[in-house]
Amino acid sequence: MTTVGISLRKHYLNHDYSFRSWLTTIDHKRIAWLYLVSITAFFFFGGAAATLIRLELATPAADVVETETYNRLFSLHGIAMVWFFLVPSIPATLGNFLIPLMIGARDVAFPRLNLLSWYLYVIGGSFTLAMAITGGVDTGWTFYTPFSSLFANGQVVLAVVGVIIVGFSSILTGLNFIVTVHKMRAPGLHWTRLPLFVWANYATAIIMVLATPVLAITLLLIALERIFGIGIFDPKVGGDPVLFQHLFWFYSHPAVYIMILPGMGVVSEIITCFARKHIFGYDGMAFALLAIALIGFLVWGHHLFVAGESIYAGVIFSLLSFMVAVPSGIKVFNWAATLYKGSVSFETPMLYALGFVGLFTIGGLTGITVAATAVDVHLHDTYFVIAHFHYIMVGGMVMAYFGGLHFWWPKMTGRMYPDVWGRIAAITIFIGFNLTFFPQFVLGYLGMPRRYHTYPDEFQLLNVLSSAGAPVLALGYLLPLFYLLYSLRWGPVAGPNPWEAKGLEWQTPSPPPEHNFDHLPVVTEEPYAYGLPKRDSDAARG
Partner 1 sequence: MAGTNALSDTPLLPEASTLAERVDTLFFTLTGLDALMVLVLSGLIIGFAVYYRRGARVNRTTNVPETKTEIIWSLGLLTIFLDIFVWAAHLYVEEASPPKNALEIHAIGKQWMWKFQHRNGQREINELHVPLGVPVKVVLATQDVIHSFFVPAFRSKQDLVPGRYRTVWFTPSRIGRYHLFCAEYCGLDHSRMRGQVIVMEPAEYEAWLAGESGAESLPAQGEKLFSSLGCIICHGAGSKVAAPSLTGIFGKPVPLTGGQTVVADETYIRDSILTPEKQVVAGYEPIMPSFRGRVDESDLTKLIAYIKSLSREDARP
Taking CB under 8 A as the binding criterion, the range among 156-164, 206-214, 316-324, 424-432 that sits at the site for partner 1 is 316-324
Residue 4, judged by CB atoms within 10 A of its CB (0-12, 13-18, 19+), counts as: exposed
Contact 445, 379 (CB under 8 A): yes
Is residue 226 close enough to count as binding partner 1 by CB under 8 A?
A: no
* CB closer to partner 1 out of 326 and 488: 326
Give, as one character, the DSSP assignment of residue 398: I
Please identify which residue in 33, 453, 483, 484 interacts with partner 1, judged by CB under 8 A.
453
* CB closer to partner 1 out of 133 and 306: 306
* CB closer to partner 1 out of 173 and 382: 382
Q: DSSP letters along 268-303, please?
A: HHHHHHHHTSPPTTHHHHHHHHHHHHHHGGG-GGGG
Q: Residues 248 to 267: which contact partner 1 by CB under 8 A?
A: none
217 sits in which H/E element: helix 196-228
Taking CB under 8 A as the binding criterion, the range among 171-179, 219-227, 424-432, 446-454 that sits at the site for partner 1 is 446-454
Q: Residues 176 to 215: which contact partner 1 by CB under 8 A?
A: none
Taking CB under 8 A as the binding criterion, the range among 2-10, 101-109, 178-186, 232-240 that sits at the site for partner 1 is 232-240
Q: Residues 321 to 340: which contact partner 1 by CB under 8 A?
A: 322-323, 325-326, 329-330, 332-337, 339-340
Is residue 500 close enough to count as binding partner 1 by CB under 8 A?
A: no
Q: Residues 44 to 73: which contact partner 1 by CB under 8 A?
A: 67-68, 71
What per-residue string of b and e applies to 455-480 under the rule 16 or more CB within 10 Å gives b? beeebbebbebbbebbebbbebbebb
Is residue 528 close enough to count as binding partner 1 by CB under 8 A?
A: no
> What is each CA distance from 387 to 43, 65, 311, 448, in whole angstroms?
19, 23, 26, 12
Is residue 345 close enough to count as binding partner 1 by CB under 8 A?
A: yes
Q: What is d(CA 36, CA 481) in angstroms, rounded to the nearest whole number? A: 12
Binding mask 408-437 for partner 1 (x = CB under 8 A): ------------------------------
Angle CA(459)–CA(461)–CA(464) in degrees, nearest 5? Answer: 105
Is residue 492 close enough to count as binding partner 1 by CB under 8 A?
A: no
Length of the chain: 542
Is residue 243 close enough to count as binding partner 1 by CB under 8 A?
A: no
Taking CB under 8 A as the binding criterion, the range among 122-130, 313-321, 395-403, 475-483 that sits at the site for partner 1 is 313-321
Q: What is d(CA 57, CA 468) in angstroms, rounded to the nearest whole number? A: 11
Q: What is d(CA 182, CA 205) in angstroms, rounded to the nearest whole number? A: 12
- Report the nearest approach of partner 1 to the CB of residue 506 (Å): 19
Please identify which residue in 23, 135, 217, 346 interacts with partner 1, judged by CB under 8 A.
346
Size of the site for partner 1 (CB under 8 A): 89
* CB closer to partner 1 out of 178 and 230: 230
Please identify which residue in 13, 32, 76, 357 interacts with partner 1, judged by CB under 8 A.
357
Is residue 116 close enough to count as binding partner 1 by CB under 8 A?
A: no
Please identify which residue in 111, 213, 231, 449 interacts with partner 1, judged by CB under 8 A.
449
Binding mask 363-402 for partner 1 (x = CB under 8 A): --xx-xx-xxxxx-xx-xxx--------------------
Question: Of the candidates 306, 214, 222, 295, which has an alpha carbon nearest to the alpha carbon of residue 261?
Answer: 295
Q: What is d(CA 53, CA 50) in angstroms, rounded to the nearest whole number? A: 5
Q: What is d(CA 258, CA 170) in angstroms, rounded to the nearest whole number? A: 10
Q: What is d(CA 51, CA 169) in angstroms, rounded to the nearest whole number? A: 28
- Beta-bridge partners for 120: none
Q: Residue 236, Cβ neighbours under 10 Å: how many? A: 9
* CB closer to partner 1 out of 120 and 394: 394
* CB closer to partner 1 out of 33 and 335: 335
Q: What is d(CA 40, CA 85) in angstroms, rounded to the nearest whole number? A: 7
Please identify which residue in 445, 468, 475, 529 interacts with partner 1, judged by CB under 8 A.
445
- Report the nearest approach of partner 1 to the CB of residue 28 (Å): 34
